[in-house]
């Protein structure tokens, strides 16, 4: 058997299985990508919110990164929760020696509204890590935090994407419109062209882990050699299927269904996502 495409996630955990490392690995697996993981923080959370967080020692973070990089191929990687500046410094040093597309999910606030990183870390992320990325995937509140601008229209979303690329130095920016009214429209700007990806809005509160899942899907497709806009297009359909078939689990925002796209194949609802 030939060697598989390999994707790495660097993020925090979610013992309830809907977000973080667990969501990323489920997504990689569904998209036929060999998944690897480096844990930054152990998070006690569920569908109702974050209960407590334990950050791994920096030497353990560094050793995990080195263990993967020294032994296995990395065709693309993503970051999720990076809690503080010292942790980000370790990750930045490692990134500079890895030749693979870097997908950043700028995790700052949980779906439940719980803050996950402090202001110093937000500044470091903007100034030191964003310029290393192939693509950054903020939702509207995260894009507002990155740019310092209020976003209330689709034109604002496009301008934010351009600012993240031209001012902050990202390779590309995907602004997700899940919190806007009407269709769920996302905008991708790659420094030259603006792309839009629209799907129907699904009436559900079960969106726990959507950001992790979306960015993990992009990472998986990039590891397979897909062009960026095609990777985003396929990932948009993947995460929409995951939301469409989401689960009524837990007492809060239930998790998305990482095999939702397979449900559509089996029931005849499958759409051509190529």
Catalytic residues: 176, 207, 209-212
Note whether 106 and 46 are within 8 A (CB).
no
Spatial separation of the C-alpha atoms in residues 82 and 263, rounded to whole Å: 33
Note whether 171 and 133 are within 8 A (CB).
yes
Pairing of strands 102-104, 41-46: unpaired
Angle between helices 210-223 and 228-244 (to 10 degrees): 140
- Those residues with Cβ within 8 angstroms of residue 20's Cβ, 6 or more apart along the chain or in another chain: 11, 12, 13, 14, 43, 80, 81, 209, 212
Task: Give the torsion sign (CA, 123, 102, 199, 21).
Answer: negative
Q: Using the 8-state DSSP alphabet, how is residue 138 labeled?
A: -
Pairing of strands 184-189, 194-199: antiparallel
Spatial separation of the C-alpha atoms in residues 224 and 137, rounded to whole Å: 19
């Amino acid at each position: 058997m030939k060697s598989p495409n390999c994707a790495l996630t660097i993020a925090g955990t979610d013992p309830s299985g809907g977000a973080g490392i667990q969501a990323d690995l489920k997504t990689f697996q569904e998209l036929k990508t060999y998944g690897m993981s480096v844990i930054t923080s152990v998070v006690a959370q569920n569908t109702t919110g974050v209960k407590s967080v334990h950050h791994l020692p920096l030497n353990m973070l560094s050793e995990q990164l080195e263990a993967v990089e020294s032994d296995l191929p990395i065709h693309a990687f993503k970051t999720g929760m990076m809690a503080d500046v010292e942790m980000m410094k370790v990750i930045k040093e490692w990134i500079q020696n890895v030749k693979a597309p870097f997908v950043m999910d700028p995790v700052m606030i949980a779906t439940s509204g719980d803050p996950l990183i402090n202001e110093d870390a937000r500044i470091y992320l903007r100034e030191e890590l964003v310029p290393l990325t192939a693509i950054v995937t903020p939702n509207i509140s995260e894009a507002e935090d990155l740019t310092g601008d209020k976003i209330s229209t689709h034109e604002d979303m496009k301008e934010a994407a351009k600012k993240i690329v031209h001012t902050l130095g990202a390779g590309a920016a995907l602004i997700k419109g899940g919190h806007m009214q009407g269709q769920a429209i996302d905008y991708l700007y790659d420094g030259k062209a603006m792309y839009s990806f629209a799907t129907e809005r699904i009436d559900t509160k079960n969106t726990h882990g959507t950001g992790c899942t979306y960015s993990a899907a992009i990472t998986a497709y990039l590891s397979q050699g897909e062009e960026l806009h095609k990777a985003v297009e396929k990932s948009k359909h993947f995460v929409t299927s995951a939301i469409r078939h989401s689960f009524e689990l837990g007492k809060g925002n239930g998790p998305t269904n990482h095999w939702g796209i397979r449900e559509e194949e089996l029931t005849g609802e499958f759409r051509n996502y190529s």
